[in-house]
Amino acid sequence: MDTTYQIATQPEDAKQDDSAPVVGLKDLHKSFGTQQVLKGISLTVGGGETLAVLGRSGSGKSVLLKLVIGLEKPDAGSVSIHGQDIAGLDLDRIGEVRKTMGFLFQHAALYDSLTVEQNVAFPLQHHKKEMSKSERSARVKELLAEVGMDGHLDKMPSDISGGMQKRVGLARALALEPDILLLDEPTAGLDPISAAEIDDLVLKLQKERHMASIVVTHDLHSAKTVADRLVLLYQGEIAIEGTFEELRHSDIEFVKEFLKDS
């Protein structure tokens, strides 16, 4: 881990609290117009832990991730990163905090007009300006090797498969050595074998890098494979939180219905 960089990206007066969870959400509320999407979500994720967020389409999973990244603001409640509430931060400071997060969006995993190499180089070019071109190029190759995509540097995103696009997206998400990894539907739209490969990759990365990870998914198999703990969103609230086995033994009707194919 590049500790010099870690220190350099800390806001000058950051109130980092090492005893706090890496990600802490407290009583989050978010509405769009009259639609109440999240109605009081509280959860924590610690270093080295992977939390899966499950829920039906439209249940607010992507909104939840956007709140963590600071792309959406909560109507009420707080988002703390290393114990620091991001609500009060100005855009520059949120930008600094965001550099400690790697994310893979649900749609638009990659920039269409950039090659695989340029996609992964992008965060380094913007946030590690001190890196020389040759250092950057070597780092991009390392990152792509980590996700099994070396040898595809000059390809365009449209010329590689969905699973390969997700791999490259993961490499890009890891470029700044994040300690938080946020993945929105990393296996959606993939065939079962490619999905299982992505799950294995997420597990491997998590083992090596010990990040606090949140994986949003409605793929139960994927959640079971990658997550230490799961939460299931229902009508804006957490219907249940626990291990996969705990969810499976739940008596809550909605939980049983949701898990019936698992």
Ligand X SMILES: Nc1ncnc2c1ncn2[C@@H]1O[C@H](COP(=O)(O)OP(=O)(O)OP(=O)(O)O)[C@@H](O)[C@H]1O
Start-to-end CA span in the chain (Å): 38
Helix (H) / strand (E) element for 197: namely helix 192-209
Instruction: Work out the angle at residue 210's Cα, subtended by the Cα atoms of residues 206 and 214, and round it to the nearest 5 degrees.
Output: 60
**Which residues 59-78 are close enough to bind ligand X by CB under 6 A?**
59-63
For residue 62, state whether it binds Mg ion (rule: CB under 5 A): yes
For residue 17 the two structure tokens come to 């609290």
**Contact residue for ligand X among 6, 44, 106, 194 (CB under 6 A):** 106
Q: Which stretch binds Mg ion (CB under 5 A): 28-36, 101-109, 152-160, 227-235?
A: 101-109
Residue 165 binds which one of ligand X, Mg ion, none, with CB within 5 to 8 A depending on kind?
Answer: none
Q: State whether the Cα torsion 57-63-66-68 is positive or negative.
A: negative
For residue 34, state whether it binds ligand X (rule: CB under 6 A): no
Closest CA to 229 of 238, 242, 219: 242
φ and ψ at residue 69, rounded to 5 degrees: -75, -20
**Separation CA 73–CA 60 (nearest Å):** 14
Question: How far apart are CB 31 and ligand X at their closest, in Å?
Answer: 9
C-beta of 104 vs 120, nearer to ligand X: 104
For residue 58, state whether it binds ligand X (rule: CB under 6 A): yes
Burial class (CB in 10 A: 0-12, 13-18, 19+), 78: middle
> Residue 252's Cα: distance from chain center in Å?
28
Q: Per-residue string for binding with ligand X, 145-184, x by CB under 6 A?
A: ----------------------------------------
Residue 4 binds which one of ligand X, Mg ion, none, with CB within 5 to 8 A depending on kind?
Answer: none
**Contact residue for ligand X among 32, 151, 191, 249 (CB under 6 A):** 32
C-beta of 31 vs 250, nearer to Mg ion: 31
Question: Under the rule (CB under 6 A), what is the footprint of ligand X?
Answer: 32, 37, 55, 57-63, 106, 218
Question: Under the rule (CB under 5 A), what is the footprint of Mg ion?
Answer: 61-62, 106
